[in-house]
Structure 1
Amino acid sequence: MHADKGDKLLVHGRIVGQHDRVVEIVEVIGENGTPPYRVRADDGHESVMSPGPDCVVRHHKEM
């Protein structure tokens, strides 16, 4: 997985009824665009995450 600051990360819901969510990558902590990433949710909450196979990067240049 490769991402840059400003990209969005689509996190698919893991259980029935759980909605997908989109977070913004505000910092790439890993080397050469690899995880972990510092992300910010719509409500302003920030966390560090290492995305799993249920996540998709949406590059800001593609939007």
Structure 2
Amino acid sequence: MIAQIGDRLVLEGTHLGDARRIGIVVAVAHADGTPPYEVRWLDTGRTSLIFPGAEARIENRHPDETSEPAR
């Protein structure tokens, strides 16, 4: 998994009833874009360090996007 600052990290629920979580990558620990990532969650505004698992995917930021999407 490779991410850049500004990409979205999408976590799918792993159990019945779990909600999908979406966050914006605000920091990448390694120059090659590998985890861990610091992510600001859109639902809470909190920031956390995450080592994404199999339930996660990265959605690359479109080159002409300058800000995060509206909540």
The residue that corresponds to 2:62 in the other structure is: 61
The residue that corresponds to 1:21 in the other structure is: 21
Q: Which has the higher helix share?
A: 1
Superposed structure 1 runs of 4+ greater than 3 Å apart: none
Q: Which runs of 5+ in 2 are unaligned?
A: 66-71
CA distance in 1, matches of 2:50, 2:36: 5
The residue that corresponds to 1:2 in the other structure is: 2
- State the aligned residue count: 63
Matches within 5 A, 1:26-41: 26-41=26-41
Q: Which has the larger radius of gyration?
A: 2
TM-score (ref. length: structure 2): 0.82
CA distance in 2, matches of 1:20, 1:41: 11
CA distance in 2, matches of 1:40, 1:17: 22
CA distance in 2, matches of 1:21, 1:52: 13
CA distance in 1, matches of 2:45, 2:30: 22
Note the aligned Cα RMSD (angstroms): 1.5
TM-score (ref. length: structure 1): 0.91
Identity of aligned residues (%): 33
